[in-house]
A and B are shown apart, each in its own frame.
Chain A
Amino acid sequence: MSTENEQQSKPVQLTEDDVAFLLSILRDPAQTQPITTQQLIDALRGRTVQ
């Protein structure tokens, strides 16, 4: 498993599926407050780990 030390500054582009996933986060009825970028990043990371 990669550690934080192994994370590099590689440019990355989101796919349409990534965008759809992020939109589903924003659409969640339980989400009534604005979401920060860090929360979106954590959600993306949590999805790829599963």
Chain B
Amino acid sequence: MLSVEVAYKGSAADKELAGKMFQALGITGRFMSFDAPISMPIADLVELLGKLGTQTAEAVVQTAAKKNDAVFRIETGDDGVVSIATTRAGKAPAAVVADTSHSFAKRFMTPQPKPEKPAYVARPQTVIEPIWVTDETTTEAVEEAVAAAEEALQTTAEEAVDGTEEPATEAPAPAARTITVQPLRITPLDEIDDIEVAKAINERLPLDPRVATFADQWMLEDRVQRLGRNDLRRIREYIQEQEQPLTDDVIAQDVLGGRPGTPEFDQLRFAVNFRLSKEHRDFDFVGTANQRFWSVSSLAQLGTTRKKPNEIGTDYRHLNDELSETPPYRSRESVERVLTFYEYQLGLLPYDLEMQELLPAPLLPNQRAAVLTFECPQSYTTYLVELRYPSPNRGGFIVGLDDFYNENLVPGAMISITRTENDGHYIVKYAAAGTQSAKLLELEDRRQRYVFRDDTYACGVLDDYLLTEERVPGIAGEKPMDEKARRRLENVVAVAFERIERKLESGTGFAATFPELFAVTNIERPVTESQLRTLLDTDETGAFSRDPEVSDGYTYVPSSS
């Protein structure tokens, strides 16, 4: 392949970026002639650079292009779109200047004299027979054929030079014309499974600007319906009016007038997804493969406002340690859980390993969240919830179950979440039971104090996890722990012992069973059973120990210092 040495200017970072820009534009213009302009809108160039492993911004690209004006030209179209252009030769394309020296009007009014036609000279006719080269032809055979053809052509040329201008009476022997056809280089796929082939397609095809793709669908980009500024504005306003994310089906039907069931509807839906995926500033994809939700940044967040999403993510950070690096998404049929006080208060579910195996993977790279629908057949209600995928510093969780919990459950209730064929839709059920009443723990929002209030519930609960006044007498009237204290799990567990208030006979400390500690610790912050068990069994200070007199019991003896 032809390579060009290009000298860049600017700082080391500018030169490196300029080199990457030239490489990226070279990929898209690799079939163009050497001096033909290769132009790309700056936003698309930034995106392509991102796919090639170089994260940058439009302003940075524009600066690098300005500093290397011998290599790049910055163009602004009539619609205000800024593009970067270069050529395969490594030089900025020359500006095209309209040539007005030869106009039709001028030529029409000042016709040139008719040129003199020279006398006809008959030229010798050389008939060249084509030689077709197949895949089985060896290189040597091809070279022999080429040499023979060249010799024949040379002989014909010599005869033409030696001869006079009189037309030849006999046609010379036809020279062979060879066309060298390179054998097609195709990848043998016999020993490659579909997953690797799909990976190869997903890595290579999106680099071609002629190809449009979204999720696992592909079309030629110029066949995808375009959405004008007006269409995008109407879509944005419709989502805002509905006050919740909307699927591509709803957008295509309600905003763009598509009719489901028609052949054009699939194309329109693809156009919605592909075009909106290019509008990063205004639209976020928050869907799954089977339920493709779109949101806008101005929408209110789904779920609780009692705690910020970032704070919840920090509370669940410990879950990241148990997640799989190669998650078997959608491999689990259902998940059963006992609801903790923390989860009940905030309408949450943690994104732990089991949930990771139940739920789908992010559909798009860098997708932060996915909107799911949780249907409760027992209450004939479907809830819109948001799955926040984990990030390196924050754990993942599902938010938006406040109403479901408040209307049907109490902390300690047993629930199950089961998948359906639709990877965005799940069935949530709770264990039903006869109506019961008890004084249960609540956090009074206004005074921010723990209180016990009469409550009636009709769901099955695990007794050890039910937070009654008898189980946690020491918490009544207390405030939640301050942020600094609750950050250390040892502090939270120690406070849990004190709130359970079962003093040791010696009077030096407290005792509690593991289920009690699990339920009470999970009032202040989320903790997994394994995390709590590890803390209690490996405590180096000696404050926590196994209780020899109680099955699965522990003691806490505060240090005297």
Contact = CB atoms under 8 A, between A and B. Distances in A.
B338 interface: no
A48 B191 contact: no
Q: Size band of the B side of the interface? A: 20 to 34
A18 B192 CA distance: 15
Given A10-B191, A37-B216, A48-B188, 5 more contacts: A9-B196, A14-B187, A18-B187, A34-B270, A38-B198
A47 B185 CA distance: 12
Interface in A1-50: 1-2, 4, 6-19, 21-23, 26-27, 32-38, 40-41, 44-45, 47-48
B311 interface: no
Nearest to A19: B204
Contacts, number: 106
Nearest to B190: A2
Contacts of B204: 13-14, 18-19
A33 B210 CA distance: 16
Given A36-B216, A37-B198, A44-B197, A8 B191 contact: yes
A39 to B, nearest CB: 9
Contacts of A16: 185
Given A14-B187, A22-B205, A37-B201, A7 B192 contact: yes
Contacts of A19: 204-205, 208
Interface of B: 184-205, 208, 210-211, 216-220, 263, 266-267, 270
Contacts of A1: 190
Given A12-B200, A22-B205, A37-B201, A6 B220 contact: no
B219 A26 contact: yes
A20 to B, nearest CB: 9
B193 A21 contact: no
A48 B197 CA distance: 13
Nearest to B264: A32
B292 to A, nearest CB: 13
A12 B196 contact: yes
A40 B196 CA distance: 13
A34 B267 contact: yes
B186 A18 contact: yes
B189 A44 contact: yes
B187 A13 contact: yes
B263 A32 contact: yes
Given A33-B266, A35-B217, A14 B200 contact: yes
Nearest to B193: A7
B193 A8 contact: yes
Contacts of B187: 12-15, 18, 44, 48
Contacts of B194: 38, 41
Contact of A41 (B201, B208, B219): B201
Given A16-B185, A48-B186, A2 B200 contact: no
A17 B184 contact: yes
B219 A35 contact: yes
Nearest to A21: B186
Nearest to B214: A34
A23 B192 contact: no
Contacts of A33: 263, 266-267
Contacts of A6: 190-191
A36 B217 contact: yes
Contacts of B199: 11-12
Choose among B197, B198, B199, B220 the residue with the greatest number of A CB atoms under 10 Å from its CB: B197
A42 to B, nearest CB: 9
B326 to A, nearest CB: 12
A37 B218 contact: yes
A36 B191 CA distance: 22
Contacts of B197: 12, 41, 44-45
25 contacts: A1-B190, A7-B191, A9-B193, A12-B189, A12-B192, A12-B200, A14-B201, A15-B185, A18-B186, A18-B187, A19-B204, A21-B186, A26-B218, A26-B220, A34-B218, A34-B266, A35-B217, A35-B219, A36-B218, A37-B217, A38-B194, A41-B194, A41-B197, A44-B197, A48-B186
Contacts of A8: 191-193
